[in-house]
Chain A
Amino acid sequence: AQSVTQPDIHITVSEGASLELRCNYSYGATPYLFWYVQSPGQGLQLLLKYFSGDTLVQGIKGFEAEFKRSQSSFNLRKPSVHWSDAAEYFCAVASGDNYGQNFVFGPGTRLSVLP
């Protein structure tokens, strides 16, 4: 069964600084990988996803992520963080065509942004 780890529970960065959120997965085949963001009390918004092809994926709000098969990682990056980026970030992995049912979330990383 697939699993996802997000080693950092909470990260604090200053506004304008760069950001990298780590995500490692465990899955035997090529996974489908996702990053979602959740603001307090709200649902999840898809930032980006990787299915195949170019391993560097561009998403919304200036985010990007890079799939590294050798490291089983899918880290999320942003060159310059804005105060509005403060939220909870979830990495998720799915498998196969039935990727909805096999959707596994990581524990999440809470991002705080200092002014």
Chain B
Amino acid sequence: GAVVSQHPSWVICKSGTSVKIECRSLDFQATTMFWYRQFPKQSLMLMATSNEGSKATYEQGVEKDKFLINHASLTLSTLTVTSAHPEDSSFYICSARGRNTIYFGEGSWLTVV
């Protein structure tokens, strides 16, 4: 079964609102989690590294004020897309490092209308 869980799997929000996506490691502690974005028919692009108890590290070109990341516990990281716009519609995937490998969540589809 899944060792990294994301919620929600699908979300539709209105333009200008904020939406939160959760990423949980189910049976291991993850001091570091990662957030990716994937556009249709493209590969995954790392957005940011989420560090438990400290600020996230963002990749170049990713707006940290728009994509808020919080890693409040060893099993939970959240990504909040603030003031969402239609161009933020995408597939967001998280991953966590554990047991000598990287486990990915099931992904979350965000549609901004």
A-side residues, CB < 8 A to B, are 34, 36, 41-46, 49, 51, 90, 94, 99-101, 103, 105-108
Contacts and interface: CB of A to CB of B under 8 A. Distances in A.
Interface string B75-113: 000000000000000010101110011111111010000
A101 B32 contact: yes
B104 A107 contact: no
Contacts, number: 53
A94 B104 CA distance: 15
B110 to A, nearest CB: 13
Contacts of A34: 101-102
Contacts of B43: 90, 105-108
Given A44-B93, A51-B100, A90-B44, A103 B34 contact: yes
For chain B, give the interface size range: 20 to 34
B104 A44 contact: yes
B107 A43 contact: yes
Contacts of B102: 34, 46, 94, 99-100, 103
A105 B47 CA distance: 13
B97 A43 contact: no
A52 B7 CA distance: 34
Contacts of A36: 104
A34 B97 CA distance: 13
Nearest to A110: B41
A34 B109 CA distance: 24
